[in-house]
Amino acid sequence: MENTSFARETRISDTPFLSLNPSTLEVIGEVVNTSREEIDAKIEKAKKAQKLWSARPDTERKDILLKVAEALQLHSKELAEWITREQGKPLSGPGANFEMQACVGWTQVPASLDLPEEIVFEDDTRKDVLYRNPIGIVAAIAPWNWPLMIAIWQIIPSLRMGNAVIIKPSEYTTFCSLEMIKVINSVLPEDILQVVTGRGEVGGYLTAHPEIGKVMFTGSIATGKKVIEASAKNMARLTLECGGNDAGIILPGLDIAQHIENLFWGAFLNMGQTCACLKRLYVHENDYEKITQALTDYCSNIPMGNGADESSVLGPVQNKMQYDKIQDLISDSENVDAEFIFTGQKPDLEGYFIPLTLIGNVDNGNRIVDEEQFGPVLPVIKYKTLEEAISKANDSETGLGASVWSNDLDEAQKVAAQLEAGTVWINQHGAIHPFVPFGGVKQSGYGVEFGIEGLKAVTVPKIISIKK
């Protein structure tokens, strides 16, 4: 294994680095880059463990995963506190406690689903049966925005179908991830779930390893393309969720009072650091003042601060890299004479806080509209005709989610059918569900997660064809 070409190509630094609390910039701990030798050893252990795990009866694997859900529930309070400390999202509102409940639910659902063999063809002369076999070892590359929830999306379906998993959490949210893996491994058999830590070169070595049969990745388009390149070395199957620049279209005459709460959280959940957040809002010119005033009024009442403070509903941006990117987009908007409809109060704290910001007098072609800001900034764009709004909404290299907001559900569905996205929500945004497949189009990636289709994605189909 040491003599393979990818081992020589990939260099992993032995220099550790710090993890910070984004609310206070206090040091949480020192993160170590897992060495190539350690990764090789973990993969060898995973190969042996996977054979034993996949040989267990299906009902036994289901029961074990349900016990994992119980363990996550039992430790949800302390894990939520770890999320808040390292990722930054508040304990209150749809924050860290919300994330932990999602972890429990997204563990229970795959454990409850069945994917039995299927007779795909039968006549008097033959019978063809489709079976779903485990792939082997799944490399899971998790992001920093929902570090535990998205890790669960990758881990649990893979284990459910008999695979072993080696997960690399984001270097920005290592310690909360390690704490959750510790809880899960208190229930699982040894070595069926292992973790490596460090920067991108650790993930690069892992994903290109010849023993990896599947890579599940959530992150940026740029890194997603590197994962695709790495998979050329081992022909690993891929599920890629590379973010999006989700558009929302408000149809004329919307009763905004009825929808303002869903609209706000559709855009600003987790400080806008959610792949399927609403990141571009198209509003008919006749409704522009009404909609922007409603958003301003709602934003004015949302407290921001240290996530450990029970009064905080929004927290900081997670890391300096993302903070600088968002500030650059705000500066660019100032330079093009955009209208700053609303700018919230920034907490008097040391962390990476960016106040809620609504920006108008911008359009497609402005960076704040064309680039995924992934933060608490929402551009609001006027349109004259519905055809114009649809065209501008589709004018993006990404296509993860989109939404249509209307009093008329029939009209909303007609518009939804024309939007280029993996999911189009009506009168809601980002409303994912563990039974409902989720994935993107264009450069948002390919493959789906969740539900039966998500289980299929971590298996290989096998046909047994019988001549009668």
Residue 366 is given by DSSP the state B
Say whether pLDDT at 118 is over 80.
yes
Residue 314 is given by DSSP the state B
**Annotation says 241 is catalytic:** yes
**Annotation says 60 is catalytic:** no
Q: Report yes or no: 139 and 214 within 8 Å, Cβ to Cβ.
A: yes
Q: Exposed (0-12), middle (13-18) or buried (19+): which is 331, by Cβ within 10 Å?
A: exposed
All residues at 6 or more sequence positions from 121 whose CB lies less than 8 Å from its CB, including other chains: 127, 128
Say whether pLDDT at 110 is over 60.
yes
- Alpha-carbon distance of 145 to 125, in angstroms, equals 54
Residue 94 is given by DSSP the state S
3-state secondary structure at position 359: strand
Say whether pLDDT at 332 is over 60.
yes
DSSP string, 146-157: SHHHHHHHHHHH
Q: What distances in angstroms separate CA 93 from CA 269, 271, 304, 310, 463, one per listed residue?
A: 10, 12, 11, 9, 48
Could you give phi then psi for residue 216, rounded to 5 degrees?
-110, 120
Q: Of the candidates 65, 41, 236, 239, which has an alpha carbon nearest to the alpha carbon of residue 142?
A: 239
pTM of the model: 0.96
Query: Where exactly are the structural domains of the chain?
Result: 5-242+444-467, 246-433
Say whether pLDDT at 9 is over 70.
no
> How high is the mean pLDDT of the chain?
96
Rounded to an integer, the average pLDDT of 279-286 is 98
- Separate counts of helices (H) and strands (E) for the chain: 16, 20
Say whether pLDDT at 3 is over 70.
no
On whether the 5-242+444-467 domain is CATH 3.40.50.720, my answer is no
Which candidate in 103, 176, 242, 275 is catalytic?
A: 275
- Alpha-carbon distance of 464 to 231, in angstroms, equals 28
182 φ/ψ sector (left φ>0, alpha ψ -120 to 50, else beta): alpha
pLDDT at 11: 84
Pick the CATH number of 246-433 from 3.60.110.10, 3.30.70.3270, 3.40.720.10, 3.40.309.10: 3.40.309.10
Rounded to an integer, the average pLDDT of 257-265 is 98
Helix (H) or strand (E) holding 199: none
Tens digit of each residue's pLDDT (9 = 90 or more) over 229-255: 999 999 999 999 998 999 999 999 999
3-state secondary structure at position 128: strand
CB atoms within 10 A of CB 391: 13
Q: What distances in angstroms separate CA 377 from CA 340, 358, 425, one per listed residue?
A: 10, 6, 21
Which candidate in 99, 171, 241, 372 is catalytic?
A: 241
Could you give phi then psi for residue 333, rounded to 5 degrees?
-65, -35
Tens digit of each residue's pLDDT (9 = 90 or more) over 14-37: 899 999 999 999 999 999 999 999
| Radius of gyration of the chain measured on its C-alpha atoms | 23
What percentage of the chain reaches a pLDDT higher than 90?
A: 97
